[in-house]
Amino acid sequence: MIRLELLAGALALALLAACATTPRPAPELTGRLALRIEAHEGAPARSLSTQFELRGDAQAGSLQLTTPLGSTAAQARWRPGLAELITSEGTRRFADLDALAENLLGESLPLAALAEWLRGRPWPGAPSAARDNGFEQLGWHIDLSRLAEGWVLAGRDRAPALSVRARLEKPE
């Protein structure tokens, strides 16, 4: 009888633990991301193409990058005062998303703003100016002319020129 009570107690605890475990929220944005950094001052051109899942916003969230075979290549997580980059080599911590991007790419890419740009809107943390088919912000031109088809294009002209193309998947 005692064994049955212990088993029932263990089952109840397991059920409570399962109820207390929150499922991982579905990504808010998913799709393909292509980044191109033009050659500059002897440095060769570089490019990156990856699947992505974005959760959260400029204040707190995560960005997961996956390989064409579906394995996680890297994950960035951030909250005020801390940004982390998790790769197969371990976890590296940075003061903010800009420092993370600079370390990872060797170039400045405003990841906090990019999270908003992918949603088709300017980042509220900096001034922006409307232009045909999009807006300008932080020295970047954001082209939303094909947003209805799931495309967001962003580029900066200063050297080295950088471009970001995102193809967003439609929610089902």
| CATH number of the domain that residue 44 is part of | 2.50.20.10
Q: Residue 6: pLDDT above 90?
A: no
Tell me if 51 is assigned to some domain: yes
Flag whether 115 is in a domain.
yes
Q: What number is the average pLDDT over the span 30-36? A: 94
Asked if the model's pLDDT at residue 133 lies above 50, the reply is yes
For 47-56, 77-86, 95-104, 129-138, which range has the lowest pLDDT when averaged over its residues?
A: 95-104
Domain span at residue 45? 29-168
Would you say residue 88 lies in a domain? Answer: yes
Our count of domains for the chain comes to 1
Q: Give a yes or no: residue 125 inside a domain.
A: yes
Q: What is the pLDDT of residue 27?
A: 62
Give the tens place of pLDDT for each residue, 61-104: 999 999 888 899 999 999 999 999 999 999 999 999 889 988 87
Max mean pLDDT range (14-18, 119-123, 155-159)? 119-123
DSSP secondary structure, the chain, as one string: -HHHHHHHHHHHHHHHHHHHSPPPPPPSEEEEEEEEE--BTTBPPEEEEEEEEEEE-SSSEEEEEE-TTS-EEEEEEEETTEEEEEETTEEEEESSHHHHHHHHHSS---HHHHHHHTTTS--TTS-EEEETTEEEETTEEEE-TTGGGTEEEEEE-SSSPEEEEEEEPPP-
Q: Is residue 149 one of the residues assigned to a domain?
A: yes
Mean pLDDT of 26-32: 83
Cα diameter, the chain: 79
120 occurs within a structural domain: yes
pLDDT tier, 122 (very low <50, low <70, confident <90, very high otherwise): very high
